[in-house]
Amino acid sequence: MIDLLTTHEKLRILIGAFERHGKQLYIVGGSVRDVLLRREHIDIDLATDARPELVKALVAEVQPEAIYTVGERFGTIGAIVDGYVLEITTFRSERYKPYSRKPTVTFGTSLEGDLSRRDFTINAIAQNPITGELFDPFDGLGDITARVIRAVGMPDERFGEDPLRMLRAIRFASQLGFDIEAETAKAIGRNHRKLRLVSQERITDEVNKILASPSPGRGIRLLCDLKLMEFIIPEFLELRGTQSDEYHHKDVFEHTLIVLDRVPADLRLRWAALLHDIAKPATKVIADGEVHFYGHDVVGAEMARVILMRMRLPRETTDIVRKLVSMHQRVNLYESSWTDGAVRRLLRDADDEIGLLLSLSRADITSRRPRKVEYALSQLLELEDRIKSLVEQEEVKAIKSPLDGNDLMAIFHRPPGPWIRDVKDLLLSKVLDGELAPDDKETAQRFAQEFLNRARL
Ligand code: ATP
Ligand code: MG
């Protein structure tokens, strides 16, 4: 980060301009933390004692590619300089409550004061961009080495000021694979109810970051252990202690976290993994000494829809997750005895989501009892092979009924109505099963006639 600041012409001039005006300028926050962790960090966060008007003027002098002033009221000027996204924020002194109706920002003059109002020690390290010297009054470096998230100052106070920090702690724990320091964790457990003060949008944003992180299972476990989940997805808490069927040797909660960690880091898949068994507690029945979860996929799909609407996820994501939850059992239950028609039906129903569905199933079945995994995996590979060869042979998605609605109305002299759909479904089904050629209108008409007679439609 330092190197790039001094090797890029405009950045170098900008840093020099602050110096000339007798202003302090430090790299802070995530930029310093991520460089110390050898993680990529694209933005450069900077802090200064210069007021926003001066920052704006100094930035404008180097003719940046862009300048953003939306955050000016809160002391932040954004800019793109030499292709880098800079956020330069004026030191703050007083602590403020971002969720209160009138957040008041008081600008400060000291770096230490600014660092003391940051959330966690690992985020409260500053670095001089010219000398590389670190300012680390809260031993953030020690906590980076020990891999812990620790609140700056008194944790209860800090979470009281801004309850979003409780979620941020867990988000950093799953992004970085760190533990939350014991006192900080206890304070989250004590203050969890304050999460109600945080907007749904910001909660969802953090939960998405947890799910997209390298260790989503760690984050979800922490959300439950530290009770924040009560205000996010209370339904999820029911999975704890729900003993699963004979396939799963752990409870549904533990199984879900393993599946979650095993699916690729695609947000749709992560949400589907999180919610795939959400209806197991609600559908559990014991019959003849065996546990069953009849219809947990269908009920689960509806629960997933309700949960994701509440989370205000985009409609498209919600639809895909709902579909993956509703179809996950179908892939899991694949048997070699399936006809090509059955495989084609699965393909058509899954449509563009077939790849995601197979990924989800792979993670799901490999989380079973070890001795069952080998068989389940070989079945999945077989299904994948059959799908591949079917797709190569034919354009399964393009298969249609040989007769469309207009043909049917003309042939049978009937008005439009639900009968058309029934007949088309029947014909499509015959084509998928290979009993009817897609262009054989004559046989199609015969099948349709028989069906209408039989159904007395
Ligand atoms: P990333 O951008 O990778 O999510 P970050 O640490 O840069 O991580 P930002 O949200 O960009 O996080 O915030 C930049 C810095 O501002 C943080 O490192 C932290 O020092 C401070 N900060 C952000 N949000 C808060 C908050 N709610 N309370 C206190 N300090 C905060
Ligand atoms: Mg950042």
**Same-domain check for residues 418 and 451:** yes
Query: 245 in a domain, yes or no?
Result: no
Please name the residue whose Cα sits nearest to atom 22 of ligand 1: 118
* pLDDT of res. 291: 84
Q: How many angstroms separate the CA atoms of 159 and 150, rounded? A: 12
Count of domains observed in the chain: 4
Last residue of a domain, one of 349, 372, 397: 397
Residues 55 and 97 in one domain: yes
CB-based contacts of 57, cutoff 8 Å, min separation 6: none
For every one of its 457 residues, what pLDDT tens digit does the chain have, with 9 covering 90 and above?
Answer: 667 767 788 999 999 999 999 999 999 999 999 999 999 888 999 999 999 999 999 999 999 999 999 999 989 999 999 889 999 999 988 665 555 555 567 888 899 999 999 999 999 999 999 999 999 999 999 999 999 999 999 999 999 999 999 999 999 999 999 999 999 999 999 999 999 999 999 999 999 999 999 999 999 999 999 999 999 999 999 999 888 765 556 889 999 999 999 999 999 999 999 999 999 999 998 888 888 888 999 999 999 999 999 999 999 999 999 999 999 999 999 999 999 999 999 999 999 999 999 999 999 998 877 778 889 999 999 999 999 988 877 776 677 888 999 999 999 999 999 899 999 999 998 888 888 988 889 999 999 999 998 876 6
Nearest atom of ligand 1 to the alpha carbon of 115 = 20
Residue 2 has a pLDDT of 66
How far, in Å, is the centroid of ligand 1 from the Cα of 286?
49
Residue 378 sits in the same domain as residue 416: no
* Contacts of residue 221, Cβ cutoff 8 Å, sequence gap at least 6: 257
In short, whether 123's Cβ falls inside 6 Å of ligand 1 is: yes
Residue 284 included in any domain: yes
What region, left, alpha or beta, does residue 399 occupy, with left being phi > 0 and alpha being psi -120 to 50 degrees?
A: beta
- 241: in domain: no
Asked if 292 and 361 sit in the same domain, the reply is yes
66, part of any domain: yes
User: Do 154 and 130 have their domain in common?
Assistant: no
SS in 3 state form for the chain? CHHHHHHCHHHHHHHHHHHHCCCCEEECCHHHHHHHCCCCCCEEEEEECCCHHHHHHHHHHCCCCEEECCCHHHCEEEEEECCEEEEEEECECCCCCCCCCCCCCCECCCHHHHHHCCCEHHHCCEECCCCCCEECCCCHHHHHHHCEECECCCHHHHHHHCCHHHHHHHHHHHHHCCEECHHHHHHHHHHHHHHHHCCHHHHHHHHHHHHCCCCHHHHHHHHHHCCHHHHCCHHHHCCCCCECCCCCCCEHHHHHHHHHHHCCCCHHHHHHHHHCCCCHHHHEEEECCEEEECCHHHHHHHHHHHHHHHCCCCHHHHHHHHHHHHHHHHHHCCCCCCCHHHHHHHHHHHHHHHHHHHHHHHHHHCCCCHHHHHHHHHHHHHHHHHHHHHHHHCCHHHCCCCCCHHHHHHHHCCCCCHHHHHHHHHHHHHHHCCCCCCCCHHHHHHHHHHHHHHHCC
Q: Is residue 350 part of a domain?
A: yes
Q: Are 401 and 437 in contact (CB under 8 A)?
A: no
Ligand 1: does its nearest atom lie under 6 Å from the Cβ of 206?
Answer: no
pTM of the shown model: 0.85
Query: Ligand 1 test: best mutation among 87, 94, 123, 174, most atoms within 8 Å of CB?
Result: 123
Q: Which of 73, 104, 138 is the last residue of a domain?
A: 138
pLDDT computed for residue 328 by the predictor: 95
The confidence score (pLDDT) of residue 105 equals 74
202 and 182 assigned to the same domain:
yes
Q: Are 300 and 419 in a shared domain? A: no
- 369 and 442 both lie in a single domain: no
Q: Does the beta carbon of 165 sit less than 6 angstroms from any atom of ligand 1?
A: yes
Helices 296-310, 267-275: crossing angle, 10 deg rounding: 120
Q: Does residue 267 share a domain with residue 215?
A: no
In a domain, 242, yes or no: no
Q: Is residue 262 part of a domain?
A: yes
Measured CA to CA, the distance from residue 48 to residue 109 in angstroms comes to: 8
pLDDT of residue 245: 61
pLDDT score for 439: 85
| Domain hosting residue 55, numbered range | 2-138
d(C-alpha 147, C-alpha 179), whole Å: 6
Whats the size of the chain, residue-wise? 457
Q: Which of 109, 138, 167 is the last residue of a domain?
A: 138
| Token code pair at residue 307 | 């949960």
Examine the domain organization and report whether 425 and 361 are in the same domain.
no
Question: Does some domain include residue 172?
Answer: yes
CATH of the domain at 54: 3.30.460.10
Tell me, what's the pLDDT at 393? Answer: 76
User: Relative to the alpha carbon of 99, which ligand is closest?
Assistant: 1
Q: Is the CB of 162 under 6 A from ligand 1?
A: yes
The residue whose C-alpha atom lies closest to atom 3 belonging to ligand 1 is 30
Q: Encoding tokens for residue 177?
A: 């694979």
Which distant-in-sequence residues (6+ apart) come within 8 Å of 437 by Cβ?
A: 402, 431, 443
What is the domain-level CATH number for residue 284? 1.10.3210
Same domain, 110 and 92: yes
Same domain for 418 and 389: no
Report yes or no: 364 and 259 within 8 Å, Cβ to Cβ: yes
CATH code for the domain of 204: 1.10.110.30
**Probe target for ligand 1 pocket from 118, 144, 171, 188, with the most ligand atoms within 8 Å of CB:** 118
> Which pLDDT score, from 0 to 100, does residue 104 have?
66
